[in-house]
Amino acid sequence: MSKAAAPRFGLLRRALGWVERRPVFVLVVPAVLALGAIAGLADIAGAERIDRAARHLHPAWLALCFGGELLSYAGYVLAIRDTAKVDQGPQLSFGHSIRAVIGGFGVFAATRTSGGFAVDYWALRTAGEDREGAVARVLALGALEYAVLAPAALCAAIAILVDGEDISLGLTLPWLAVIPGALIAIWITSPGRARRYATHDPGAGRVRGGFAHSVAGLSMLRRMLVAPPREHGLGLLGTAAYWAGDIACLWGALQLFGNPRLSTPALIIGYATGYVLTRRSLPAGGAGVVEIALTFALHWVGFPFVRALLGVVVYRLFNLWLPIVPALAVLPDVDELRRNFDQAEREVES
């Protein structure tokens, strides 16, 4: 890092720290962003159309929303535990993993500018992993998410193309890029190249360091995928359950306002397009961004705009806001989480 860039980075870090030490303030910001996004979308939809669509409710589908998110949480617990133990990594207990997942999807996702992955890093560091290993495992966990969702979206896109559904090629053809992307990942994580690209000098720049960490994370994912199922099969199964549960929650939210005439491949494409960045990777749980992106993505695959908006609002209640309640009840207060997180950082720097 250059001398000129160092003060700017330090100032940014202090500013983010000031924000994150005020969790109430940070909770208000995503709420305002989400409400602002919903208000803007509602203005586009029209109050009369929204009122008409909201009159025909089917509350039984709320059970699917709740059950889907429970499945999603359970799946992510398996995923984070399995990723942690790759290459003789730390053994996270179920209790530790559950706390990390609840925090990552709830209060920590909403109160850290780095998103829910920050709590995964914190969990690994406090379990004894060093900084480099924790960063690599967090990136491997993120890559594992896409290693399941991207092929599912690719298969959905192919099914739509084969069936001739009236969905824009702009939504389906880009998912074909999963194939060359996977080939590049396989090439760059071959044992010889991975050892070369995943190492970097301590004084290397942020770009070089970030690239090395990414290669290390992808290499870790590769070892998970090629290992016998008895070693890391639960991680893959858990990630599949995570996505299946969250998509089921969205489906239930859409069903709440009437039977949606939307094929399963179209639902997957709409969901995956709206979630190019996952809720754990986005600051403040993606408040505002996800509401807009997912509403338009569902509309682009053929779902009525008004019902898509209403469904996304209900989905986000279960997906982002409801998890904050158990997160506050189960986890220590946010200040304590921050102290633990910062202590782990100071240990590696000392």
Number of domains in the chain: 1
State the DSSP H helix or E strand holding residue 25, giving kind and residue range, or none if neither. helix 23-45
d(CA 227, CA 229): 6
Phi, psi of 129 (to 5 degrees): -75, 145
Tell me the two tokens of residue 317.
Answer: 């209640």
Express each pLDDT in 71-116 by its tens digit.
999 999 999 889 888 888 888 878 778 777 776 665 555 445 455 6
Tell me the two tokens of residue 281.
Answer: 């990777």
Tell me the two tokens of residue 136.
Answer: 């690599």
Phi, psi of 85 (to 5 degrees): -90, 0
d(CA 12, CA 66): 38
Express each pLDDT in 250-288 by its tens digit.
999 999 988 777 899 999 999 999 876 555 555 566 667
Phi, psi of 220 (to 5 degrees): -65, -40
d(CA 284, CA 73): 18
State the amino acid at position 344 in one-letter form: A
Among 247, 281, 231, which residue's Cα sits nearest to residue 120? 281
As to burial, measured by CB atoms within 10 angstroms (0-12 exposed, 13-18 middle, 19+ buried), residue 182 is middle
Structural domain containing residue 65: 24-49+57-298+337-349
pLDDT for 49 equals 78
Phi, psi of 165 (to 5 degrees): -65, 150
User: What's the predicted TM-score (pTM) here?
Assistant: 0.82
Inside any domain, residue 140: yes
Q: How far is CA 276 from CA 146, 161, 293, in A?
A: 9, 20, 9
Tell me the two tokens of residue 44.
Answer: 């586009």
Inside any domain, residue 305: no
Whether the Cβ atoms of residue 129 and residue 137 lie closer than 8 Å to each other = yes
pLDDT for 8 equals 47
First to last CA, the chain: 19
Average pLDDT, the chain: 79
Inside any domain, residue 325: no
Inside any domain, residue 316: no
Inside any domain, residue 314: no
Among 308, 311, 328, 292, which residue's Cα sits nearest to residue 36? 292
Q: How far is CA 343 from the centre of its chain?
A: 25
Q: What is the dihedral of CA 263, 266, 243, 55, to 10 degrees?
A: -70
Whether the Cβ atoms of residue 315 and residue 249 lie closer than 8 Å to each other = yes
Inside any domain, residue 315: no
d(CA 289, CA 283): 10
Inside any domain, residue 62: yes
Q: How far is CA 128 from CA 166, 188, 338, 347, in A?
A: 52, 28, 17, 11
Express each pLDDT in 20-36 by its tens digit.
555 555 566 667 777 78
Express each pLDDT in 297-349 by its tens digit.
999 998 888 888 899 999 988 988 787 766 666 555 445 655 665 665 555 45
Neighbours of 234 (CB within 10 A): 17
Q: Is the pLDDT of residue 234 over 70?
A: yes
In 3-state terms the chain splits into helix, strand, coil percentages (rounded to 5) of 80, 0, 20
Inside any domain, residue 308: no
pLDDT for 285 equals 61
Task: Provide DSSP, 40-95.
Answer: HHHHHH-HHHHHHHHTS--GGGHHHHHHHHHHHHHHHHHHHHHHHTTTS-----HH
d(CA 271, CA 22): 32
